Amino acid sequence: MLRFIVRRLVQMVGVMVVLSLLLFLWLRALPGGTVSAILGERATPASRAAMEEAFGLDQPVHIQYFKFVGRVLQGDFGPSTSVLPGTDALDIFLQRFPATIELSFFAMVIAIALGIPLGYFAARRRATFFDNASVIVSLVGVAVPVFFLGFLLKYIFAIKLGWLPVSGRQDGQLEATRVTGFFVLDGLLTREFDASWDALKHLVLPSITLASVPFAVIFRITRAAVLEVLDEDYIRTAESKGLTAKVIRGRHILRNAMLPVTTTIGLQLGALLAGAVLTERVFSWGGLGEALALSFERRDYPVLQVVILAAAMIYVIVNLLVDIMYAVIDPRVRTR
Amino acid sequence: MTFKRKATPLAVLTVAALALTACAQSDRDDSGSDTGSAAGTSTFTFGAAGAPKVMDPFYATDGETFRVTRQMFEGLVGIKAGTAEIEPELAESWEPDASGTNWTFNLKTGVKFHDGEPFNAEAVCKNFERMFDQNKDGQVAAEYWAGTFGAFKDKAATSLYKGCEAKDEKTVVLSVNRPTSGFPTFLSLDALSMQSPKAMETGKANEVKAQGEGFIYPEYSKAGVGTGPYKLEKYDEANKTVTLVRNDDYWGEKAKNAKVVFKIVPDETTRRQELEAKSINGYDLPNPADWKGLESAGNKVEIRPAFNVFYLGLNPIKNPKLADVKIRKAIYQALNREELVKTQLPEGAKVATQMMPDTVSGYNKSLEAVKYDPAAAKAAIAAAGGLTLEFAYPSEVTRPYMPNPQKLHQAMAADLEAAGITVKVTTKPWNGGYLDGVDANAFDAFLLGWTGDYDSAHNFIGTFFGSLDANNFGLTKHSFGATLAGDLAKADAIVDEAQRTAAYEKINQQIQEEYLPALAISHSPPALVVGEGVEGVVASPLTAEEFSGVTVGGK
């Protein structure tokens, strides 16, 4: 097991080096760039040249890359140029990471808490009204674009009903104390329960929006997996042995059906960032998804680089954790 | 047994949570946060599209930063509300000598910076010396100084700035190396605001450093100290809000709101929804298509007087046929600008007769718009053996003078094709090849515009055509290029205002009737919107709205 983990970690370093090079070259190959974004219509050949020289953009690409790697090895990704100008890109990542984790956590809780039980019951009640209705709901979850769902939910619950806030993470006038960057947790830790409650209210709509796709995927995979397991010989054997329904459900159906579901949850966690780009933008959620969208739009390369590299690293780590979980759930994996 | 297994993790979590609760301390001020002043206690919340760059306006270049710093800082020269005209601010009056190079400013007395330091002649000189004396990276970051005074201390001979002398506590003489029409008007720029010399020294305000592809700003830039009606309370980066609090020691009329909060909401539709939900009191640049809907919902769309020009740039370096003025005029005649303004631009937009708006001195009132004449255009194009035009527009952007580039381009391209011109459509993202392409002479024709920084003809036509090399119109390929650039330099140096205005009027006439280096299309008024119950917002053509006189719900 240890050798397996070490091997995967070494592979991860290789992936990151190759990705950083490809990313660096891709960004430099794009037309336009930071200088255009900063100077806008006011650019003159002289101001453009002075800025390119100041940023080292007048040097050959390989020199720029080696300088970039040299700085990154010292933990310096360079200052942001537009998302939060002047602030170190890594600090922006660290500041916004809790926002995305908080949102993703609540979204995944919603997706799993609804997806697995509904998938299980839909499979057990196959071809009933409940099954058909659940499948339709899950199809809607996949088919409706995230931004549309976000705007629709805001229109109903924030504007028309006024129950929930339109956007952001917290009411700015609460003067909440920041400890961890997880606003709900911060409120609990500092006993500013109104701040915690306000942060929770801000989380409801974006979490539901972000949960829509993973919910649908988890629901469908759970349903399919349970249906497959129900047809297995060992279920019939268990029934014929006279095991109770509770034991069959818990030990034989759910445990076996959970294998593909666990893999799916892992992949969905990694894919959440893609969904977060739109959800965070629509809800002005100050997380990594919004930073990624803004940094691309405004050509903020330092932020773009750190967010993409970190997202890739998180994706690889989550998959490694899923593989380890897989080994825990299915003992056969451990022996391979 | 089962109970024990389930209860153990719960107990551990509870103990851990309690332990953590004991560690974290609330930063809230129990004494209450009201400023304690007799003035209003309400808060004005404005939806901003982006994060402010720095809290030191000297290194700022963007509207989102200036919107915040404008409430905190003031210049020697101010701008009269609702106009582009200058008026006294920290200087009560000013007077040039006969040469137009030495300007005596009489300063207001009893003014203090937010840190309690006095504002006086010495502080003014320290400010100018600080701005003039920039390191290499600071010179790149301080774009507005470079754009107005030209050079810094290490190239003093080429700089417009000559020196500053404090005559007494309230009299200061600013000297420039040559007279220019922009001085002292451009002292109204937010970037050239007065800041506390002591705070700048303590916070090492000039220690800007280029690193990677951006600038690292000194500590001072996070909390600049000015003389304005508001001062910075907090910039909560994690929650994307900037909070300003009333300066109770302000020298003038105190701000009516206790606080101004800028909530950063990059998406325009979300800003609109925030206004509908009444969680913000206003936002900038609502989509013109939404103006009517916003007003019918009880909001007020405040239309600013247009202080911009939208033009069609033509580049003879890329397409030599465009060096022929008959071709350029034919393109002008082919464009139905009346229709374009009516159908594609917001209410209040006007067809342009020249490359600057009518509020700027030097605007030539006698000029008439080139008439839409597709038949004449077609004949001229045919006589020239036809014309193929690579005509570009930017994507991923809206500008105050160009709310929807794609639709404007479609309408103009249709007009050009109707006149027998073969149009090759090109589009590039604004920051992803468009601006670079314009600068690199990559397009035959392109859509662009300009919003003025201050009330001066030089800031419009001087910016476009004042340099033979640094322009987007291939002036080196035009026989009139050097003459035009020379005439603009001469007009800029005329000290007498009436003579200078006459010179600019003449140049505008030549540009429109003889040269046509670019085709002026329109002037569009941008707007901002405020919610029900918000009073006192005066729309500024320079987007320089001050919020100290704003009330919310009558408070």
Domains of chain B, residue spans = 40-55+228-304+526-554, 73-227, 308-523
Q: Using CB atoms within 10 A of its CB, is residue B32 exposed (0-12), middle (13-18) or buried (19+)?
A: exposed
Query: Testing the interface with B: which of A23, A159, A163, A306 to mutate, by most B Cβ within 10 A?
Result: A159
CA distance B394 to A137: 40
DSSP A128-164: SHHHHHHHHHHHHHHHS-HHHHHHHHIIIIIIIS--S
> Is A62 a residue whose pLDDT tops 50?
yes
Question: A286-299 pLDDT, tens per residue?
Answer: 999 899 988 888 88
Would A25 be classed as within a structural domain?
Answer: no
Q: Are B181 and A37 in contact (CB under 8 A)?
A: no
Domain count, chain A: 1
Measured distance CA(B124)–CA(B174) in Å, rounded: 9
Expressed as residue numbers, the domain containing A100 is 95-335
Distance of CA A117 to the CA centre of its chain: 23
Compute chain A's Rg from CA coordinates: 24
What is the Cα–Cα distance from B276 to B537, expressed in whole angstroms?
18
Residues of A with Cβ-Cβ distance to B437 under 8 angstroms? 31
B47 min Cα distance to partner chain A (Å): 11
Average pLDDT across chain A, whole number: 86
Residue B16: predicted pLDDT: 60
- In B152-238 the beta strands, taken as DSSP E runs, fall at 161-168, 171-176, 209-211, 214-216, 230-236
Q: Tell whether the torsion through CA atoms of B487, B491, B494 and B498 is positive or negative.
A: positive
Would residue A68 count as lying in a domain? no
Which residue does chain A place closest to B51, by CA atoms? A84
Q: Any CB–CB contact under 8 A between A72 and chain B? A: no
Q: Distance (Å) from the C-alpha of residue B413 to the closest C-alpha of chain A?
A: 23
Cα nearest neighbour of A158 on chain B: B277
pLDDT attached to residue B36: 37
Interface residue A39 vs chain B (CB under 8 A): yes
Q: Output the pLDDT for position A164.
A: 95
Q: Does residue A227 lie within any of the structural domains?
A: yes
Q: For chain B, percent helix, then strand, then coil, each to nearest 5?
A: 35, 20, 40
CATH of domain B40-55+228-304+526-554: 3.40.190.10
For chain B, 555 residues long, give each residue's pLDDT as a single digit of tens: 444 455 555 565 555 655 555 567 777 765 444 433 445 568 999 999 888 989 999 999 888 999 999 999 999 999 999 999 999 999 999 999 999 999 999 999 999 999 999 999 999 999 999 999 999 999 999 999 999 999 999 999 999 999 999 999 999 999 999 999 999 999 999 999 999 999 999 999 999 999 888 899 999 999 999 999 999 999 998 899 999 999 999 999 999 999 999 999 988 899 999 999 999 999 998 988 899 999 999 999 999 999 999 999 999 999 999 999 999 999 999 999 999 999 999 989 999 999 999 989 899 999 998 899 999 999 999 999 999 999 999 998 888 899 899 999 999 999 999 999 999 999 998 888 899 899 889 999 999 999 999 999 999 999 999 988 878 899 999 999 999 999 999 999 998 889 999 999 999 999 999 999 999 999 999 999 999 999 999 999 999 999 999 999 876
**Side chain identity at residue B554, one-letter code:** G
- C-alpha dihedral over B266, B267, B272, B275, to 10 degrees? -40
**Which CATH number is B308-523's, of 3.10.105.10, 3.40.50.1370, 1.10.287.130, 3.40.140.10?**
3.10.105.10
Q: Which of B521, B492, B486 is nearest to B504 (CA)?
A: B492
List phi, psi (to 5°) of B102: -120, 120
Q: Is residue B113 within 8 Å of residue B119, measured between CB atoms?
A: yes
**A92: which 2 tokens?**
């922006």
Q: Which of B485, B460, B457, B451 is nearest to B470 (CA)?
A: B485
Q: Which residues pair with A72 in a beta bridge?
A: none
Contacts of B17 in chain A (CB under 8 A): 188
Chain A residues touching residue B431 (CB < 8 angstroms)? 32-33, 36-37, 297-299
Q: How distant is the Cα of A118 from the closest Cα of chain B, in angstroms?
A: 25
Cα distances (angstroms) measured from residue A91 to each of A287, A293, B185, B462: 12, 17, 40, 42
E strand or H helix that includes residue B391: strand B387-395
Beta strands in B177-334 (DSSP E): 209-211, 214-216, 230-236, 241-246, 259-264, 282-284, 300-303, 308-314
Strands (E), B123-274: 161-168, 171-176, 209-211, 214-216, 230-236, 241-246, 259-264
Q: CB B270 to CB A99 under 8 A?
A: no
The secondary structure of residue B63, as a DSSP letter, is H
Q: Is A194 exposed, middle or buried (0-12, 13-18, 19+ CB in 10 A)?
A: exposed
Q: Is B389 helix (H, G, I), strand (E, B) or coil?
A: strand
User: Nearest C-alpha of chain A: how many angstroms from B154?
Assistant: 15
Angle between helices A301-329 and A89-124 (to 10 degrees): 40
B18 to chain A, closest Cα gap in Å: 8
Size of interface A-B (CB pairs under 8 A): 207
A166–B279 CB contact, under 8 Å: yes
Using CB atoms within 10 Å of the CB of residue B65, give its burial: 0 to 12 exposed, 13 to 18 middle, 19+ buried. buried
Model pTM?
0.86
What per-residue confidence (pLDDT) applies to B288?
Answer: 87
Please check whether residue A85 lies inside any domain of the structure: no
Q: How far apart are CA A39 and CA B62, in angstroms?
A: 9
Q: Under an 8 A CB cutoff, do A151 and B434 touch?
A: no
Residues whose CB falls within 8 Å of the CB of residue B515, separated by 6 or more in sequence, listed in order: B325, B478, B480, B484
Tokens representing A48? 């453009």
pLDDT of A281 > 70? The answer is yes
Give the residue from A55, A203, A277 with the most B CB atoms within 10 Å of its CB, the best one to mutate: A55
Separation of alpha carbons B440 and A59, rounded Å? 19
Cβ–Cβ gap B470/A168 under 8 Å: no
Print burial letters for B297-333: b (CB count within 10 Å at least 16), e (below 16).
Answer: eebbbbbbbbbbbbbbbbbbbbbebbbeeebbbbbbb
DSSP string, B486-542: HHHHHHHT--SHHHHHHHHHHHHHHIIIII-SEEEEEE---EEEE-TTEE-----TT
pLDDT confidence band for A170 (50 / 70 / 90): very high
Contact A222, A115 (CB under 8 A): yes
Residue in chain A nearest B266 by alpha carbon: A284
Cβ neighbors of A186 (< 8 A, separation 6 or more) are A176, A177, A178, A179, A180, A192, A195, A196, A199, B24
DSSP secondary structure string for all residues of A160-175: IS--S-SSSSS-GGG-
Joined together, the tokens standing for residue A171 give 């009411």
| Alpha-carbon dihedral sign for residues A128, A133, A138, A142 | positive
In a domain? residue A42: no
Whether A183 is covered by a domain: the verdict is yes
Nearest to B56 by CA among B178, B135, B144: B144
**Nearest Cβ partner for B239 among A30, A37, A168:** A168
State how far the Cα of A254 lies from the Cα of A276, in Å rounded to an integer: 30
ipTM above 0.85, yes or no: no
Helix (H) or strand (E) holding A182: none
For residue range A306-321, list pLDDT tens digits in order. Answer: 988 888 888 778 777 8
| Selection from B409, B414, B415, B416 nearest residue B394 by Cα | B409
Identify the DSSP state of B444. S
Whole-angstrom distance between the N-terminal and C-terminal Cα of chain B?
A: 64
Q: Say if CB B279 and CB B485 are below 8 A apart.
A: no
Q: What is the CATH number of the domain that holds A283?
A: 1.10.3720.10
Assess if residue A29 is contained within a domain.
no
Q: What is the mean pLDDT of residues A64-87?
A: 87
A97: exposed, middle or buried (Cβ count in 10 Å: 0-12, 13-18, 19+): middle
Per CATH, the architecture of B73-227 is what? Alpha-Beta Complex (3.90)
Tell me whether domains B40-55+228-304+526-554 and B73-227 share a fold. no
Residue B312 identity (one-letter amino acid): L
Distance from CA of B17 to the nearest CA of A (A): 8
- The identity of residue B235, as a single letter, is Y
